[in-house]
Structure 1
Amino acid sequence: MDQSERSSVDWSSVNGSLVPHKDAPGTDVFLNQGGVFIVRSDLGCYLQTKELKTGTGIEIRRLHPACRGGDHYLSDIKDPPNIYIIKGDSYQVVKDLSTDAGATVRELHPNCRGGDHYITYGSNFSIIFLERGVMRSVLDLSTDEQGKDTPLKPDRCKGLYYFGFVYFQGQIEVDEKWGAQCYLFLDIVSEKDVFSIHPDVLNFFPGGLALTQGTSTSSWECIKTLQNDSDSSITWSDKVTCKVGYAKQQMSSIEHNWSISAEMSLGAGELTKLITQFQFSFKAEYGGRSVHTEQEDWNEARDEEESIQVTLEPKTKLYIWQYRLGIGQKPVLFCRDVHFTKEDKPPDRIPLPPVP
């Protein structure tokens, strides 16, 4: 497979990664006859597509409240398939994540608890224990029937997300050269295929915006400079115009190839806004800024005037700064915080609450 097939992004200039399953509570990937499913409990929805590679037929659907907050999500090969939601030492089986249809709850067998990843492979369940370096295969999660441990090869311990289907197991990684890649294995040692994940799908993953749009940026922008060249103090009183709010159009293209179901009750661009808010909250290693922005003005960006009155000492300057956040080279959120300095040097504080 040549480079043009693998990726069209210059990954050497990208700093960031998908947020791995262990750091993204309520996020997981699984396959069944309906396609590929990416669950994001933090957004209250899930993405369904025919293929990770092409991003064909993407639909975003509401996640039923009873199906949120799972530690792991997986599905089997039955027709219609069962979907398994693992929470702690028990799991729920449903037919549909958006309706909680046919829900039943069972206990996990002690040997099936505490796994780092859960997938299905043919008629079996596979549980990956990374610290032990094994994959446990069982016929039933509640009884540990036909339980068997198989050592994992080192390259099978690098996945951010894992999934399985009838004849293969897959894992998602971020390669420094090729970007977000999906590796398919016929078994735990044999590589079957490798391909890049489509940007329309990546955008839905936590941290995905860093890979498709660029890492989060933050800066103070000087919006006005006042200067007193006289030998006496002067009082300056006027209005300063600054942009405040969310630059919706900068991010609107993300949803162009998504079909968002009516049950979501979201206006155009609302889901992208939520995804962008979460992106800013992620750690720098995932392309975020580790700040909360929910209290900022997320309405459509607009020009606002602010009345300012200051006294300037003789032969001095005053610089007026505004804080803003961006994704890649795009300014996205113009914050309400305005700060003054006497030197042509931006403030050294961050006016947004940090993520604990």
Structure 2
Amino acid sequence: MMKDIIPKSKTKGVDICAGKNFTYIIRSDLGCYMQTSDLNKGSDLTIFSLHPSCRNGDHYVADMEGHFYIIKAKSYRRVTDLSTDADAVVQDLDPDFQHGDHYLGINKFFVVIFKRRGICRITSSLGIISTDVKVNLSPKSSSGLYYWGLSECCCFLKPVSDWGVQYCKGADLEKDDGLVDYSVHPDVVNFLPGGLSITRGPAFGRWENIKTITNNSDTPVTWQKKIIKKVGYNKEKMTQITHNWKITPSVLIQSGDLTGLIAKCQFSFSAEYGGAQVCAMKETWNDATDAEELISFELKPHKSLYLWQYRLGLGDEPVLFCRDLIISNEPNPPNNVPLPPAQP
């Protein structure tokens, strides 16, 4: 079953917006954002830290003059830099433009999309003193997961299909004709919420048999065994997703390890979006290393014991080797999940 990108309606502080030269993918859950000059080619991919005052917005908009707008409830914060919160100004949002589903900037105008009403409102200002025009939202244009504007057109991210992750670009949200589809580069998909399940495969959590011990004699045997197990996460493998990203120093200082944080988020998502719906925050997220554990037990004649370790991974590749072991006399893996469920 094809997994999907988490839509804007189901996550907070995550959005896509675009200015004059770049498109921005905001990930408040990661504390950073991606800047790219071309979503299709994956050009100029740079990761910047997201200032605490600029996080967890309901919506993010950029204009052609270098401003960003972080909308929260009934007001918005306008800044010139999402990393530093530079030139911050807070203003009220016009009551007519509150509770929109999506916000975007096109040229010198703002567009507010109300999906349930099937309309969008075009205005010259988000503030109290503004005039606007209402237009109907076309059926195809109403299916977007995220929306953003360029200088002369608007774009929206489409639900994942057999053709992968694509976005649609057109001059008019009111008409379906003239819309053109473009694929999103895999290096960009990796940064989208749920994207790892598309480029690497859905998350899994399962018990793996790491050792089987059998007593073939006719008498009980007391065993004391030193077990070698791998603990930590496959950082080298995960770091491959960032090879074409330029990550600014402030991001590394804040996150410590961005790829590990992205993996934790992916594992926390529901199965619909390629996650395992578990919280792995308290596991060991250092580079995977071999650890020794001394185990003592009595084994009855002609019986076997099975040692199981829980692992999280993506596709067929293990990513996280959890600390806990289970010893069982059953050849089938345990049924329990040793990690707490992720909070929705």
TM over 0.5: yes
8 Å contact from structure 2 (residues 123, 132) kept in 1: yes
Query: Where does residue 11 of structure 1 map in the other structure?
Result: none
* Cα distance between partner residues in 1 of 2:256 and 2:311: 20
* Cα distance between partner residues in 2 of 1:311 and 1:245: 30
Q: What residue ranges of structure 2 are gaps of 5+ in the alignment?
A: none
Helix, strand or coil for the counterpart of 1:111? helix
Calculate the TM-score normalised by the size of structure 1: 0.92
8 Å contact from structure 1 (residues 325, 332) kept in 2: yes
8 Å contact from structure 1 (residues 111, 144) kept in 2: no
Query: Where does residue 204 of structure 2 map in the other structure?
Result: 217
8 Å contact from structure 2 (residues 223, 297) kept in 1: yes
Q: Write the letter of the residue equivalent to 1:255.
A: T
Query: Where does residue 162 of structure 2 map in the other structure?
Result: 177
Q: Deviations over 1:219-276 (max 9, x none)?
A: 1111111212333322111111111101111112111111111222349981111111
Helix, strand or coil for the counterpart of 1:230? coil
Q: Write the letter of the residue equivalent to 2:287.
A: E
Per the alignment, do residues 181 and 111 of structure 1 end up closer, same or farther by CA in structure 2, a change over 3 Å counting?
same
1:157 equivalent to 2:142? Answer: yes
Correspondent of 1:94 among 79, 89, 106:
79
Correspondent of 2:90 among 96, 102, 105:
105
1:20 equivalent to 2:1? Answer: no
Calculate the TM-score normalised by the size of structure 2: 0.95
Helix, strand or coil for the counterpart of 2:260? helix
Query: Where does residue 4 of structure 1 map in the other structure?
Result: none
8 Å contact from structure 2 (residues 17, 25) kept in 1: yes
Helix, strand or coil for the counterpart of 1:273? helix
8 Å contact from structure 1 (residues 15, 215) kept in 2: no
Per the alignment, do residues 154 and 299 of structure 1 end up closer, same or farther by CA in structure 2, a change over 3 Å counting?
same
Q: Deviations over 1:2-41 (max 9, x none)?
A: xxxxxxxxxxxx6311111122211111111231111111
Counterpart mapping for 1:40-51 below 5 A: 40-51=27-38
Per the alignment, do residues 268 and 351 of structure 1 end up closer, same or farther by CA in structure 2, a change over 3 Å counting?
closer
Per the alignment, do residues 329 and 135 of structure 1 end up closer, same or farther by CA in structure 2, a change over 3 Å counting?
same
* Cα distance between partner residues in 2 of 1:158 and 1:337: 44
8 Å contact from structure 1 (residues 48, 59) kept in 2: yes
Query: Where does residue 318 of structure 1 map in the other structure?
Result: 305
Query: Where does residue 286 of structure 2 map in the other structure?
Result: 299
- Measured after TM superposition, the shift of residue 217 of structure 1 is 1.4
Query: Where does residue 232 of structure 2 map in the other structure?
Result: 245
Q: Deviations over 1:204-231 (max 9, x none)?
A: 1111111111111121111111212333
* Cα distance between partner residues in 1 of 2:48 and 2:255: 15
* Cα distance between partner residues in 2 of 1:107 and 1:20: 26
Q: Write the letter of the residue equivalent to 2:192.
A: F
Counterpart mapping for 1:117-196 below 5 A: 117-143=102-128, 145-188=130-173, 189=175, 190-196=177-183
Q: How many residues were matched structurally?
A: 341
Q: Deviations over 1:66-125 (max 9, x none)?
A: 1111111011122xx211000111100111111111110011111110011001122221
Q: What residue ranges of structure 1 are gaps of 5+ in the alignment?
A: 1-13
* Cα distance between partner residues in 1 of 2:280 and 2:209: 21
* Cα distance between partner residues in 2 of 1:181 and 1:71: 23
How high is the sequence identity, in percent, across the aligned residues? 43
Helix, strand or coil for the counterpart of 2:211? strand
8 Å contact from structure 2 (residues 255, 261) kept in 1: no
Q: Deviations over 1:48-76 (max 9, x none)?
A: 11110011111111111111111110111
8 Å contact from structure 2 (residues 235, 287) kept in 1: yes
Q: Write the letter of the residue equivalent to 2:310.
A: Y
Larger deviation, residues 188-197 vs 278-287: 188-197
Q: Write the letter of the residue equivalent to 2:257.
A: E
Helix, strand or coil for the counterpart of 2:272? helix
